[in-house]
Chains A and B, each alone.
Chain A
Amino acid sequence: MAEFRLPANSRIVGGVTHKAPQGARDVRTVHIYRFDPDSGENPRVDTFELDAAECGQMVLDVLIRIKDSRDASLTFRRSCREGICGSCAMNINGVNRLACITSLRDLGPQIRIYPLPHMPVVKDLVPDLTTFYAQYASVKPWLMAQTPAPPDGERLQSKAEQEQIDRPAACILCACCSTACPSYWWNSDRYLGPAALLAAYRWIIDSRDEATGERLDALEDPFRLYRCHTIMNCTDVCPKDLNPAKAIAEIKKMLVQRQS
């Protein structure tokens, strides 16, 4: 059931303000969700006034700058800084995005940074993605085929067959989509969420895969697939411009078509 209020241990209490340095020119006020598992205290929102001129142009640069110069305990995931690893997914000014490819120019003077919504928080901006990964694994994201591969080479696809899986296969599992989905918020224990369903679709339509029926059977369930109500937040936020909503709609269509 949908639980609209945050549990008592999750409500935000207080926060610290770090003033802008003297002579700052382009001041940005950055509000950052903080949670320290060792303190036993509730999460808080710290405010950092920052001169944008002293750091790079992306939100990730701001976080790194704050960690370097203001508060070394600030914790977040990052790796590639070019939108291909999916580590720095977070909620920035109310929308899930990758911090490394979100430009300060698009955000204005007030920047609010929270972890991905409705997830257990390990520390600060680091969510626990265990369930998310388990859901991905549950759709068996690998090739399943009885027919052995040709002895003299690989399983070949036509260009058109490859293009079908081209976009869905580009998912980086950043979890922006699933954690933007209110259906996933209320039912993440049973609804697979857009990212896992996009992965399922990628294997269902793969011309080399021979377990299409089995894969569709596994999804034909009131919760796993049909908690999607086409809210469209998934496609709206995907930093790789993929389309989980379309993938889910296509899976629903296939389930209807195979009945006739």
Chain B
Amino acid sequence: MAERPLSPHLSVYRMHRYTLLTSILNRVTGLALAAGLILLIYWLMAAASGPGAYAQAESVFALWIFKAIFLVLLAVFSYHLCAGVRHLVWDTGSGLERAQSRASAYLVLGASAVLFVGLACWLLIRVLA
């Protein structure tokens, strides 16, 4: 007899469900933040290497493409922070009922949006001032 086929999984499961959506977003934002660390390390190394290297790093980061990347990273950070708090609460054994986890999924999405807009406005005001 031929080997049994494996039933479809990712291709049939409803991926925009609140459970999967928040979990996958948490993973992806975690990866993006880790990638973003490379930029931070570059900046720190430049700062440690002397004024010349630091000035060069500043001019690189002044490019609009890096400003766009930092804006995305700010959104990513906002989500990952809020989702992380949700996981911390879960680890205490609370908030795990179906209705609670559904509510906290939307709470995390809303709170991270508010946090992102707040941080972005704060940075904009500081840059303009």
Contacts and interface: CB of A to CB of B under 8 A. Distances in A.
* A complexed with B: yes
Nearest to A8: B5
B8 A117 contact: yes
B96 A249 contact: yes
Interface stretch (A37-45, A141-149, A155-163, A215-223): A37-45
B6 A120 contact: yes
Chain B binding surface, main DSSP class:
loop
Interface in A211-230: 229-230
B19 interface: yes
Contact count band on B: 20 to 34
B12 A230 contact: no
B17 A122 contact: no
B2 A10 contact: no
A12 B12 CA distance: 12
Contacts of B4: 37, 120-122, 128
B52 interface: no
Interface in A24-61: 33, 35, 37, 40, 42-43
A78 interface: no
B7 A116 contact: yes
A247 to B, nearest CB: 9
Interface stretch (B41-49, B74-82, B85-93, B112-120): B85-93
Given A37-B4, A236-B98, A250 B93 contact: yes
A1 B101 CA distance: 28
Contact of A95 (B17, B87, B90, B97): B17
A180 B13 contact: yes
Nearest to B102: A236
Contacts of B3: 9
Interface string B1-37: 1111111111111110111100100000000000000
Given A37-B1, A94-B13, A231-B19, A10 B101 contact: no
Contacts of A81: none
Contacts of A233: 17, 19-20
Given A40-B2, A94-B13, 7 more contacts: A94-B15, A120-B7, A128-B4, A230-B87, A232-B96, A233-B17, A236-B17
11 contacts: A6-B9, A94-B17, A120-B6, A127-B7, A185-B9, A231-B19, A233-B17, A236-B17, A249-B96, A253-B91, A253-B93
The 4 closest A-B pairs by CB, nearest first: A94-B14, A10-B5, A120-B4, A117-B9
Interface of A: 4, 6-7, 9-10, 12, 33, 35, 37, 40, 42-43, 91, 93-95, 112, 114-122, 127-128, 180, 182, 185, 229-233, 235-236, 241, 243, 245-246, 249-250, 252-253
